[in-house]
Amino acid sequence: MTSQDLYDFAPLARVLLTGAIIALGPIVWIWWRHRGATPLKRLQVLAVLTLFLSFDLVMFGAFTRLTDSGLGCPDWPGCYGNASPIGAHAEISAAQAAMPTGPVTHGKAWVEMIHRYLATAVGGLIIVLTASAWLQRKRGGSQPISPWWPTATLVWVLIQGAFGALTVTMKLFPAIVTLHLLGGTVLLMLLTVQATRHTQFADNLGLVPVPRLLRGLVAVTALLVFAQVTLGGWVSTNYAVLACTSFPMCNGAWWPAMNFDGFQIWRPLGFLADGSHISYEALVAIHYMHRLFAYLVIAALLWLGWMLRTVPLLRQQRRWLIGLTLLQFATGLSNVVLDWPMLAAVLHTGGAAAIMVVLTWIWCTAGAEPARRASS
């Protein structure tokens, strides 16, 4: 076997090194800012900060997708076999000369690689979070949550990395890109559980008593929102946002012409499973089903917000939930009537992720209301 037959791990190593250097910044800040705190307090800050940076990563991932930068570097993990677009300047210039608007341009290459650097940095923070949790367990100290939670999160972020690689190597395959989006949402939920438990322990906060039916409503609403995120991801990855150009009707009709072949799952971007091009009517069906389901989800979110008024200790979460729901409606409407502005599109993805974070926050904060004893 010659050296040409071996896989070149140099780009991967350099990308990992870049991510580690980026992750070192938050870690050093936590150590310096809380150098006099207990290890458990530093673990809490790390969990909250990792959640915050992971949310930023999801937002930047949306920006990467919406600027068509997903193939800015058409290989993985590097860019034309290099660790950054600087080393790939000649290859990118040639690709840009052939197709000036993409998919490969210098700007898109940088957006794609920055996304990979940030994702690697988040992975590094989760490794530190996991190692710190197990070290705390080894020391015999009290913990608000099992170290298996950050361990599961680490496994999940590795799976996310695999889907990120497949997103590029499979040329934006809609099912893979949608799963990558959903994986980011699940990652935020896992980190929210840990951040909430650590904060409750650090601030000596108990669970808020919530009626069983209300806790059930939180769970059902979360499932509905997750389904809507799936539909929204399918709209975005199939570029069906502008398939309906009017509101509340779609293309001047309450029930426009639709072809549900667009919901064939395993197919390349722009094509159906039989190799034929996807029709406009199929894109309309993808868009309109997302819109119709949105009415149910918004109603469920607002109903949950109304019901939470009976739990004063969840006032903060309730305000976030209602505010994000209204923002989500506004940005979704803006995507249609304002011809898909970038700011609204990114905020729409971020708003959906934030709603899932808030619902997870509520679930972790709420405890079962103690049963009332029958009067004698």
Catalytic-residue membership of 369: no
Residue tagged active-site, from 91, 112, 281, 369: 112
3-state secondary structure the chain: CCHHHCCCCHHHHHHHHHHHHHHHHHHHHHHHHCCCCCHHHHHHHHHHHHHHHHHHHHHHHHHHHHCCCCCCCCCCCCECCECCCCCCHHHHHHHHHHCCCCCCCHHHHHHHHHHHHHHHHHHHHHHHHHHHHHHHHHCCCCCCCCCHHHHHHHHHHHHHHHHHHHHHHCCCCHHHHHHHHHHHHHHHHHHHHHHHHHHHHHCCCCCEEECHHHHHHHHHHHHHHHHHHHHHHHHHHCCCHHHCCCCCCECCECCCCCCHHHHCCCCCCCECCCCCECCHHHHHHHHHHHHHHHHHHHHHHHHHHHHHHHCHHHHHHHHHHHHHHHHHHHHHHHHHHCCCCHHHHHHHHHHHHHHHHHHHHHHHHEEECCCCCCCC
Using CB atoms within 10 Å of the CB of residue 328, give its burial: 0 to 12 exposed, 13 to 18 middle, 19+ buried.
buried
Active site members: 112
